[in-house]
Structure 1
Amino acid sequence: MATRADNDSTKDEKAIGSVEHVEQSSRNSPDVLKEHNELLADDVRPAAERKLVRTLDMRLLPTIVLIFIMNYIDRTAVSAARLKGIEADLQLQDTQYDTVLAVLYASYVPAQIPSNMILNRISRPSFYISICVILWGLMSALTGVSKNYAGLLATRIFVGFPEAAFYPGAIYLLSRWYTRKELAFRSAILYGGLLISNAFGSLMAAGILSNMEGKMGIRAWRWLFYIEGAITICIGFFAMWALPDYPNNTRWISPAQRRLAMVRLSEDAGEADEDTSEDSAMSGLIQALKDPKVPIMAVMTCAQLLGLSFVNFFPTLTATLGFSTTISLVLAAPPWIFATIVCCIGAWHADRTGERFFHISGWWWGAIIGYIIGVSTMSTGGRYFAMFLMAAGYSGFALTAVWVSNAVPRPPAKRAAAISIVNGFGNMGNLIGSYAWKSQWGPNYHPSMFIGIASFALASVLAFVVRCILVKQNENLEREEMANMTEARRERIEDAARLEGITFEEALVRRRGFRYLY
């Protein structure tokens, strides 16, 4: 396997030569080709890489975080509306309300795999994702006109279809721009949008539900859907301009920066981040299904999301503390602000260390402690503290799709399918969890918490299995490199070790090729 020390120039040429979408002029004009390669020189490349990453961080990340905030605000608006009369107005029974929550995932889950397969084949993901944002904003707004259970059910089904494009699509888009050790922190910032949306969503809902009741003869819970849906539609149009496409065709960076972006990813995995002529969307799906890591991670994600299913009932849980509707919604915000902070800190550390298992499962273990506290006491302080630990459990899920991308890096068609399979099947946990917090189990919800404890325990076991598989695969890669090492290369590494004052083994580690992160 090629290593950076020996083959940087070779991999640069491979990345350049393998790109199918390079402008025709760059193939024919030496001057244009030189211009496109100008950022690859050793003396300018480090600064150019930092500038490229900063540009992405300032434009790509804020846009997808903003979309993700509205994604979960729209998705969980039903939970806030429950506190202001939607059940009474639409004459919903307890099971019917649970079905309204679950039915969104019935469309959201199966739509993710074809959505990511489409995303990998189209050239303008910025348009595709933005159109989906506009559509779910429209359907969310239409939820406010529901007159009965059937109407509410229909709108929530059609919210799920366009929403399916966003999260797995956003993770895949990030993986087309950031290297393995840049991806976790950026994905955590993205997922911070989800966590903080629970805080902003509760505060926004508190303001709308407390001030819009009866305005223009319309109930406050209907205004909640109208206002939040309209905001989402506006953000969707903005995203058409702000989001990038792929490194080979994004319009708002220079040709030299596009070339640099492609070379970076080529070096990161030892091969170009491009599908070959044989890598179709269907072949990527088949490859992903045959990789044992993918189904294991899919079940792991399902288990953890069942454990985290309290998110759809969080305002209901804070209401068990005994305060008014407005105060209950305000109290729902601090745990999610705390979760956002610890999520970003944990992901930053995961990028620095390259470790994945403990940075993911450790947060689940904290949520288990929160559940144990919730089962053990009904005191206001104890249960509210438990909610902080439960919310922090989402920090583990924030890195799950990143781990999938690290564990199934190439080809892109396989990676896109793997991310959608894991996230799509994983959201079955949310669907099941819609029935795991029955109102008759309140106000203590002990059965719900026992379900959560068992779910996190299963997820932890499966995560450990994935870790063991990746360790084994890295050992196989190590043996292959040693077996294929030529005498000349060994001598070069030994010379480098003497010059650097380190052992041969340490020098070998510095120059080794791609490894999985576990």
Structure 2
Amino acid sequence: MSQRRPPSDVVSDEKYDGKVTASVEHVEDSVPQAVDNDGELLLPGVREHAERRLVRKLDMRVLPTIVLIFILNYIDRTAVSSARLKGIEQDLNLTDIQYETVLAVLYASYVPAQIPSNMILNRISRPSYYIPFCVCIWGMMSALTGVTTSYAGILAARIFVGLPEAAFYPGAIYLLSRWYTRKELAFRSAILYGGLLISNAFGSLMAAGILSNMEGKLGIRAWRWLFYIEGAITVCIGLFAIWALPDYPHNTRWLSKAERRLAQVRLAEDAGEADEDSAHDTALTGLKQALRDPKVYILAVMTCAQLLGLSFVNFFPTLTATLGFNTTISLVLAAPPWIFATIVCCANAWHADRSGERFFHVAAPWWGVMVGYVIGLSTPSVGGRYVAMFLMASGYAGFALTLVWTANAVPRPPAKRSAAIGIVNGFGNLGNLIGSYAWKAQWGPNYHPSMIIGLASLALSSVLALVVRQLLVAQNRRLDEREAEMTAAERERIAEAARLEGLSLAEALERRKGFRYLY
């Protein structure tokens, strides 16, 4: 057997020797050649229907829950922007730079917490407890934002909203990647991200209702009611999520033993190896493997640049207010662009799954934002600027696929994938932090400097996305040339896939030859 090091994209740096070969041969001898008791759903004539039923069960139970959580995630995060229209700056005596810092400080806790959070998620057995616990905590902290009376108080509240929020989006993407195949993941992730886009619509409409009807009720300002009501709803949904969310394919309580086996087999077939960590894979080794992969760094900087280019999201109610209407009409006008963006996001992801293409489906929506910025820079008309807002909002259809592309580009082992998702989304959200200072009030109402910053940032992210594409093309070429080589950990996962599917190791190795990165 060759002693050369495996290619850089292989999931482990371990070399294998005669001992490993012997153990693999032992595994091959032990692989069952027939389907056992929990493999009843793998039988010919049963498998296809059972798989559709399993995916439908996941879609009906998991997706609505995480979409609802994501709606509340961004409603809670951006409530400050709506509260700004009803006097929060005046009541707390905030200067312009202090308000921008209130927006930015959430990301100061949100960004660094994502990597350890995803590493924890990969090691614990019950994500159905961990994620809902974090949801309840940030809901409570969001509600407590309503009692703040000073700049220091709202800064503290925002820090402790961002900390538990770090568990949700990268954690949800990782959890979905443990259940859906590569050709299913983009559309489901887009549905999840549609929760964010819809939240900008529903959040504005909810805020419009609360801010216009709750002013002075029980002697409390309307912006304080906004935080109380939205935070309380989030806590309730977090408690519901304990029941609704799954754990992992091997231990989810609301699936039968045969369904759990089928769920594992689906993912094993998709990648040609079991979607499980080997005995040598830990959270720390996964982090080290992710840090040694150059694609992770490029994807992280790409995500940072695109989120800086899309940072208008935190100021969208302010931007619609520049059209010249009152507070209620401005908040209502903020909704249609996000509804349109949700439709674009789902359609884009559906086609990405069908075609298996990633680069153009990620980058093309950014180019629409760039067109929107050009319109905003070139015309003062209300109609033109409102059309530009539709194009700007639709740019999030590209970001919706960023972590999907990360999961596809860094697929195995799960420890490495979870760390890579945390790194890419964590570092990427520095773009939101920087963007909090990119839409200065003194640059309004046209915000031309802000749009120029956005144009440059999205141009950079487009170039980096092209680099990632070319790296994946090169890695697929190396897979063609060096398919016979693999590490001990990789062979261990393939052997586990063979056991799950009732194949010999030789059959599993032959089938794995079809795996290629999506670009």
TM-score by length of 1: 0.88
Give the direction of change, closer, same or farther, for the CA distance of 1:511–1:272 in structure 2 (3 Å limit).
closer
Matching residue within 457, 460, 479 for 1:455? 457
**Corresponding residue for 1:348?**
350
Q: CA deviation at 1:188?
A: 0.1
Contact 2:306 2:457 in 1 (8 A): yes
Alignment of 1:361 with 2:363, yes or no, is: yes
Q: CA deviation at 1:42?
A: 1.9
- AA partner of residue 104 (structure 1): L
Give the unaligned 5+ runs of structure 2: 1-5, 7-23, 487-509
Alignment of 1:211 with 2:202, yes or no, is: no
Deviations 1:402-460 (CA, angstroms, capped at 9, x unpaired): 00000000000000000000000000000000000000000000000000000000000
Once residues 34 and 288 of structure 1 are traced to their aligned partners in structure 2, the CA distance between those partners, rounded to angstroms, is 36
**Corresponding residue for 2:340?**
338
Once residues 212 and 96 of structure 2 are traced to their aligned partners in structure 1, the CA distance between those partners, rounded to angstroms, is 24
**Corresponding residue for 1:34?**
36
Contact 2:272 2:512 in 1 (8 A): no
Once residues 420 and 457 of structure 1 are traced to their aligned partners in structure 2, the CA distance between those partners, rounded to angstroms, is 24
Contact 2:273 2:512 in 1 (8 A): no
**Corresponding residue for 1:382?**
384
Once residues 162 and 434 of structure 1 are traced to their aligned partners in structure 2, the CA distance between those partners, rounded to angstroms, is 20
1:15-414 superposed matches below 5 A = 34-414=36-416
Once residues 409 and 372 of structure 2 are traced to their aligned partners in structure 1, the CA distance between those partners, rounded to angstroms, is 30
The secondary structure found in structure 1 opposite 2:482 is helix
- AA partner of residue 249 (structure 1): N
Once residues 199 and 244 of structure 1 are traced to their aligned partners in structure 2, the CA distance between those partners, rounded to angstroms, is 28
Once residues 393 and 166 of structure 2 are traced to their aligned partners in structure 1, the CA distance between those partners, rounded to angstroms, is 23
Q: CA deviation at 1:371?
A: 0.3
The secondary structure found in structure 2 opposite 1:273 is coil
The secondary structure found in structure 1 opposite 2:147 is coil
Give the direction of change, closer, same or farther, for the CA distance of 1:483–1:230 in structure 2 (3 Å limit).
closer
Q: CA deviation at 1:34?
A: 3.2
The secondary structure found in structure 2 opposite 1:192 is helix
Poorly superposed stretches of 4+, deviation over 6 Å: none
Once residues 390 and 118 of structure 2 are traced to their aligned partners in structure 1, the CA distance between those partners, rounded to angstroms, is 33
Q: CA deviation at 1:515?
A: 0.4
Number of corresponding residues:
469
Deviates more, 1:425-434 or 1:262-271: 262-271
Once residues 251 and 472 of structure 1 are traced to their aligned partners in structure 2, the CA distance between those partners, rounded to angstroms, is 42
Give the unaligned 5+ runs of structure 1: 2-13, 19-26, 485-508
Q: CA deviation at 1:358?
A: 0.1
Q: CA deviation at 1:483?
A: 10
**Corresponding residue for 2:442?**
440
Contact 2:264 2:275 in 1 (8 A): yes
Once residues 246 and 178 of structure 2 are traced to their aligned partners in structure 1, the CA distance between those partners, rounded to angstroms, is 10
The secondary structure found in structure 1 opposite 2:357 is coil
Contact 2:86 2:223 in 1 (8 A): yes
Once residues 511 and 251 of structure 2 are traced to their aligned partners in structure 1, the CA distance between those partners, rounded to angstroms, is 33
**Corresponding residue for 2:516?**
515
Q: CA deviation at 1:480?
A: 2.7
Give the direction of change, closer, same or farther, for the CA distance of 1:83–1:483 in structure 2 (3 Å limit).
closer
Once residues 324 and 387 of structure 2 are traced to their aligned partners in structure 1, the CA distance between those partners, rounded to angstroms, is 15
Q: CA deviation at 1:512?
A: 4.6
- AA partner of residue 178 (structure 1): Y
Contact 2:272 2:511 in 1 (8 A): no
Q: Percent identity?
A: 78
Q: CA deviation at 1:510?
A: 10
RCO (CA 8 Å, sep 6+): is it higher in 1 or 2? 2
Q: CA deviation at 1:481?
A: 4.0
- AA partner of residue 429 (structure 1): G
1:461-480 superposed matches below 5 A = 461-480=463-482
Q: CA deviation at 1:65?
A: 0.1
